Structure 1
Amino acid sequence: MKALVYQDYRKVELLEMEEPTIGSPTGVKVKIFGSGICGTDLNIVKGKIPANSGTIIGHEGVGTVVEVGPKVRSVKVGDRVLIDPTQSCGICSYCREGLHCYCENFEDHQVGMTIHGTFAEYYAGEERYVFKIPDTMSWEAAMMVEPLGCVLNSFLKARVKPSDSVLVLGSGAIGSLCQLVGKRLGRLTVGTEVDEYRKSFAANIADYVFHPQELTLEKVLEINNGHKFDIIIDAVGNQLHVALELIGKGGRIIPMGYDDSYEVSFKPTDFINNGVNVIGDVAVHQMISTALKFAQSLPELENMVTSTKKLQDYEGAFNETIGYDMSTGAPRAMTSVKTALIS
């Protein structure tokens, strides 16, 4: 089968790989329809996050069941399914407390990084990580369920109220998804974005979208009844300094973007005096089932996939979302918020 394989630092290739096989009585084999390109995949391509050499990347996969083990009960051949990539050993102390995303052996279970992922024609894994897709749900919406789970988990941890104002810093795939959920759960949703294409896309979701330099404190007070924001999400990974300036008393800051080179300093007394919380546990905590149900009330979800490319056109797919040309390194305008690779 064809699969997109991590080779070395900033190098991925489309290779011919052996089809996976079911490895247990509760195993499930899926013919992959497609898989969304996540920020993690982009960071692997950029060289910011390592993957094991020879590993098939990708983790937001959906497809059709083609084989099941004799003990599988929840899905059958022919079912449309999505794959939960948050997998774990199941037996360490964290797993036994239900904190699977903090698994002590997590490095051995990272789909698309240390074990084969979904940028391929087939995927095989355990039944407990395979979820049936409702018949009324499109493939595109189904590909957004896993990132929706991450966003929904963050909003629930932040205890968002219908009266809350939400600022989302960055309007990429996760940022736009945060804005979509913010519109559903909060009172006011505001986004920022430097890229004109993504800024225009986000303008159809959020109440307001600004270039970061336009969102001054004066503008915030003008659009938010004289107050700072109740919830601020950094969907870029290097904007917490902005969040610290614009968060109101009793507010919650959620860092969601990933940039391990970024650092910010703060005064602990500001957090104490103003009752501000920073919420770091944004990883998915068994949210796929909940996100699947929530997704059925979000008809806009499928529109989040703004481009689809065939697996063999992976360079073009990455180029339109990564901000530069993979081959030359030359900067280029973004032309997609969320691109899916179709097998």
Structure 2
Amino acid sequence: MKGLQWNKSQSTLKMVEAPVPEVKPETVLLKVSHCGVCGTDLHIMQHEFRSGQLVILGHEFSGTIVKVGTGVNNVAVGDKVVVEPNSMCDTCRFCRRGKPHCCQKCLPDTIGLMQNGGMAEYCLVPAKYVVKFPEALPMDKAALVEPMACVVHGYEILGQIPDGTRMLVMGSGIIGQLWINMLHYRGFRDVTVVEVSEGRRQIVSNSGLGYRVLHPDDLQAEFKNANMGEDGFDIVVDCTGNPRALEMAYGLLCSGATLLVFGCSPANSKLTIDPSLIQTRELKILGVNVSPYCFIKAVSLVNDMAANYLKFDKLGIKKYSLEQYETALTELRAGEISKAMFCIDK
């Protein structure tokens, strides 16, 4: 089979020929249909995020089960499924407190980061981590379930959001796009989007959501003489992971506001902020890590939003073959698109 393999020691991503995995007890073999390129994949290739030494990337994918191992009873051959890539050990104090996303023992098993993932024609995964989705949901849109599950987790962390809340979303890559479309779907209208890339700003402008989208410089100029404790944003969702963007976001919070750190920042990066504002404005800074117990919810949400909100041209998603991976990465890094998705099962 063909697959895109990351070689950590050589810092290379290349197409390889690999044997189709053999089914084992309590695992299933998927024929992969579609696999998205995540911002995490880009961080891996920049050595800013953990990965295996030699691994086929891809943790956002859909496929059809072609073989099942002994002991599998939750799915069958022919089922269309998505894959929850994050495992849990079930024994540590975090797992036993219902916080498997904090589990430290399961990291070596993460699919697409530490174990071979979905940027290949076939992928072997534990049966307990596959989730069936409705027949009516197209395979390509089903590949958005994993990132949407992370968005669902972030949304739940925010808690109940009052009417009239003023929100800012930093970054309009695919995660920013999923956030703003989900917010619109849930009825929120006072949302501003800030984005460096002109191409991605245009994607938001053409989305039909009616949200303001600005370059960071224009947004800061707009608030230059404002009383931020009064005039700032109630919720800022950072989807960039860029330390400078986070510093900017912190300065745009009004009293009682929340900063949701969603984007992946490079390890050991630093922020310079005024900590007195946390006390005087009663600010909250919250992190979001993967998607515990959110996959079933995300399948339902993607299915409900698919027709009106998750059109690929509207979101700036472009499809490529595996062989076009270099072009896909170039266009993604340049900000010409919000997401690259590999169409594997043709």
The TM-score, its normalising length taken from structure 1, stands at 0.90
Q: C-alpha distance in 1, partners of 2:3/2:163?
A: 44
CA contact (8 A) 1:83 1:131 kept: yes
Higher RCO (C-alpha 8 Å, min separation 6):
2
* Aligned pairs (5 A) from 1:113-124: 113-124=113-124
2:54 maps to: 54
1:163 maps to: 164
Give how far 1:220 is off: 9.6
The percent of aligned pairs where both chains have the same amino acid is 27
Q: C-alpha distance in 2, partners of 1:161/1:17?
A: 52
Q: C-alpha distance in 2, partners of 1:166/1:320?
A: 29
2:297 maps to: 290
Q: C-alpha distance in 1, partners of 2:162/2:76?
A: 40
CA contact (8 A) 1:36 1:61 kept: yes
The reply on whether 1:308 has 2:308 as its aligned counterpart is no
Instruction: Give 1:336's aligned amino acid.
Output: I
Q: Judging changes above 3 Å, is the alpha-carbon distance between structure 1 residues 220 and 136 closer, same or farther for their aligned structure 2 residues? A: farther
Once the two structures are superposed, residues 55-100 of structure 1 have per-residue CA deviations (whole angstroms, 9 ceiling, x without a partner) of: 1111101011111234323321111111111112222222222211
1:5 maps to: 5
Q: C-alpha distance in 2, partners of 1:131/1:80?
A: 8
Instruction: Give 1:90's aligned amino acid.
Output: D
CA contact (8 A) 1:168 1:191 kept: yes
Q: C-alpha distance in 1, partners of 2:123/2:176?
A: 28
CA contact (8 A) 2:261 2:288 kept: no
Once the two structures are superposed, residues 103-124 of structure 1 have per-residue CA deviations (whole angstroms, 9 ceiling, x without a partner) of: 1213211211211111011111
Q: Which secondary structure state, in structure 2, belongs to the residue aligned with residue 32 of structure 1?
A: strand
Q: Which secondary structure state, in structure 2, belongs to the residue aligned with residue 191 of structure 1?
A: strand
Once the two structures are superposed, residues 287-329 of structure 1 have per-residue CA deviations (whole angstroms, 9 ceiling, x without a partner) of: 1111111222213124236211111211111111012xxxxxx
CA contact (8 A) 1:305 1:340 kept: no
Q: Judging changes above 3 Å, is the alpha-carbon distance between structure 1 residues 221 and 119 closer, same or farther for their aligned structure 2 residues? A: farther
Instruction: Give 1:214's aligned amino acid.
Output: D
The TM-score, its normalising length taken from structure 2, stands at 0.89
Give how far 1:266 is off: 2.8
Give how far 1:7 is off: 1.3
1:278 to 277, 285, 288: 285
1:190 to 189, 192, 204: 192
Instruction: Give ranges in structure 1 of 5+ residues lacking alignment.
Output: 324-333
CA contact (8 A) 2:28 2:69 kept: yes
Q: C-alpha distance in 2, partners of 1:208/1:54?
A: 43
- RMSD between superposed Cα atoms in Å: 2.1
Give how far 1:5 is off: 0.7
1:99 maps to: 99
Q: C-alpha distance in 2, partners of 1:123/1:221?
A: 55
* Aligned pairs (5 A) from 1:1-343: 1-8=1-8, 9-24=10-25, 26-159=26-159, 160-185=161-186, 186-203=188-205, 204=207, 205=209, 207-216=211-220, 218=222, 227-237=231-241, 238=243, 239-260=245-266, 262-299=269-306, 300-303=309-312, 304=315, 306-323=317-334, 334-343=335-344
Instruction: Give ranges in structure 2 of 5+ residues lacking alignment.
Output: none
CA contact (8 A) 1:183 1:206 kept: no
CA contact (8 A) 1:221 1:227 kept: no
Greater displacement, 161-170 / 285-294: 161-170
Q: Judging changes above 3 Å, is the alpha-carbon distance between structure 1 residues 336 and 193 closer, same or farther for their aligned structure 2 residues? A: same
Instruction: Give 1:146's aligned amino acid.
Output: E
